């Protein structure tokens, strides 16, 4: 079931035991701290003998729920119930059917990151629920999960989360309340535990040293990712490229899968175009070209301008690198998408235009910083000045409760958005490679 390297440490074992008698179980801490594996094991143990049939697993979206809970690097629910489970549909919803000691259980799979996500889980009563990256989900979704488990015969809710700013809503509006209840009543049923990478018995000392060597120990990311502390982001968001710009500049980029990201500017903002090369083994990102349009109020002139700059950007990349494999843009802007398609048709190009993924801003900031920190991102000299300058000027929004850039027109967020759209589809694969092996030569 779990190999020898993955045996829980004492802290994890104590948490798992307490899960069996607690209704709210929260595992918080740094990256690779074993939070998911620990919660998965506790959830599976409880599921074996749970009296209810219907249960829920969720994340920001269904993909994160599947990756973090069902798969969990080979140590998730699919592994625990190997040979006893199968994917299917339950009332037209994605689910996992599991044969347990007390009969067949149904695990519905849901996403909880949007304001209306709670609607997808209404109408059901769940015996247990496991929400991964709970602080990335919408507060209304977490509230609905609590409501939908009230009548459970053995109510259990599991959360895992990576630390955020101390003033993030999850702490101020959610966790603080339950901690006060637990303090007033020791039998309330909150089971909270903090983990970090040093608690993860599946990481060898050799690998741990390699991981630690990729982090600046004075950075916010070391405090959060490694030590698992709740630390607020302050001032400039991407310090490495401010302090050591030349380390990230190249004249000989590596060419792999070439992807263009386009951000359509609204009022008082510009259209931006950023094309990047993602190595096919996800080991590095090279930014090849960045352009943006001047700000124009007239909608007709702005549309013409979009087509002109898009065409110029296209031809530059094609002439220099020979191809563009895909274009990512906000497909909700159909008039603007049609304008792009007209340019492609005029040039006789059949490059697909896909809907941008739009990862949460905090996730984009994290991914970019990780690529900068471990120096797995390069910018082509003289061709990428707008995106380099945009990253250098981006600052934290001091009023936000999470990592978020200040978007008040004082810095070029349009270029950062275009850059993100071009690479964020592969964020998880890129970070997995560069943080778990791609950093070693």
Could you state, in order of their start, the residue ranges of all structural domains in the chain?
Answer: 4-205, 233-435
Question: Is beta strand 285-292 parallel, antiparallel or unpaired with respect to 272-278?
Answer: antiparallel
Identify the pLDDT of residue 167. 85
Alpha-carbon gap, residue 34 to 15, rounded angstroms? 12
Alpha-carbon gap, residue 148 to 119, rounded angstroms? 11
> From residue 219, how far is each of 177, 226, 229 by CA, in Å?
30, 11, 12
Please work out, in degrees rounded to the nearest 5, the angle formed at the alpha carbon of residue 235 by the alpha carbons of 230 and 238.
85
Identify the pLDDT of residue 141. 96
Identify the pLDDT of residue 33. 82
Identify the pLDDT of residue 238. 93
Q: In what order do the strands lie in the sheet with 326-329?
A: 249-250, 377-380, 285-292, 272-278, 257-263, 326-329, 353-355
Class of domain 4-205: alpha beta
Dihedrals phi, psi of 97, to nearest 5 degrees: -90, 130
Identify the pLDDT of residue 127. 97
Alpha-carbon gap, residue 44 to 38, rounded angstroms? 10
120 membership: H or E segment, kind and range: none
Q: Which residue matches tokens 């689910």? A: 95
Task: Give start and end residues of each alpha helix (H) in 155-298.
Answer: 169, 176-184, 205-213, 220-221, 239-243
Given this chain, do its domains 4-205 and 233-435 carry the same CATH topology? no
CA-based nearest residue to 277, from 161, 155, 379: 379
All residue ranges of the chain with pLDDT < 50 are 1-5, 438-441
Is the distance from CB of 37 to CB of 75 less than 8 angstroms? yes
Looking at the domain 233-435, which fold is it?
Nucleotidyltransferase; domain 5 (3.30.420)
Q: Is the dihedral of CA 135, 138, 143, 149 positive or negative?
A: negative
Beta bridge partners of 55: 107
Q: In what order do the strands lie in the sheet with 24-29?
A: 85-90, 93-100, 103-111, 54-59, 128-131, 156-161, 24-29, 190-195
């Amino acid at each position: 079931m779990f190999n020898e390297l993955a045996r829980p440490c004492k802290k994890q074992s104590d948490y798992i035991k307490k899960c069996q008698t607690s209704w709210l179980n929260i595992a918080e801490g740094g990256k690779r701290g074993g939070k998911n594996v620990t919660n998965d094991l506790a959830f599976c143990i409880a599921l074996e003998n749970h009296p209810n049939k219907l249960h829920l697993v969720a994340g920001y979206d269904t993909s994160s729920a599947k990756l973090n809970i069902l798969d969990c690097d080979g140590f998730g629910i699919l592994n625990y119930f190997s040979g006893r489970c199968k994917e299917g549909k339950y009332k037209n919803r994605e689910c996992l059917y599991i044969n347990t000691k007390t009969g067949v259980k149904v695990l519905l799979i849901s996403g909880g990151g949007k304001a209306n996500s709670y609607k997808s889980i209404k109408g059901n009563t769940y015996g247990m629920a496991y929400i991964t990256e709970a602080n990335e989900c919408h507060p209304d979704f977490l509230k609905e999960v609590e409501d939908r488990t009230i009548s459970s015969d053995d109510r259990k809710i599991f959360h895992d989360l990576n630390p955020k700013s101390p003033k993030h809503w999850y702490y101020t509006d959610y966790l603080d309340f339950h901690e006060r209840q637990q303090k007033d009543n020791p039998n309330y049923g909150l089971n909270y535990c903090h983990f970090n990478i040093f608690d993860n018995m599946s990481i060898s000392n050799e690998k741990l040293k390699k991981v630690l060597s990729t982090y600046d120990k004075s950075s916010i990311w070391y405090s959060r990712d490694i030590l698992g502390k709740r630390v607020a982001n302050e001032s400039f968001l991407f310090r490495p490229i401010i302090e050591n710009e030349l380390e990230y500049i190249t004249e000989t980029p590596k060419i792999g899968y070439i992807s263009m990201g386009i951000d359509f500017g609204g009022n008082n903002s510009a259209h931006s175009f950023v094309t990047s090369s993602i190595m096919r083994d996800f080991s590095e990102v090279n930014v090849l070209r960045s352009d943006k349009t001047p700000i124009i109020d007239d909608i007709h002139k702005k549309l013409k301008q979009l087509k002109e700059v898009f065409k110029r950007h296209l031809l530059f990349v094609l002439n220099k690198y020979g191809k563009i494999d895909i274009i990512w843009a906000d497909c909700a802007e159909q008039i603007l998408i049609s304008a792009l398609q007209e340019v492609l048709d005029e040039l006789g190009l059949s490059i697909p235009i896909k809907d941008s993924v739009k990862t949460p801003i905090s996730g984009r900031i994290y991914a970019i910083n990780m690529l900068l920190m471990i120096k797995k991102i390069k910018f082509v000299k003289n061709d990428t000045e707008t995106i380099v300058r945009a990253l250098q000027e981006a600052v934290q929004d001091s009023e936000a409760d999470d990592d978020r850039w200040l978007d008040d027109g004082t810095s070029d967020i349009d270029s950062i958005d275009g850059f993100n759209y071009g690479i964020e589809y592969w964020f998880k694969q890129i970070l997995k490679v560069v943080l778990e092996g791609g950093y070693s030569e």
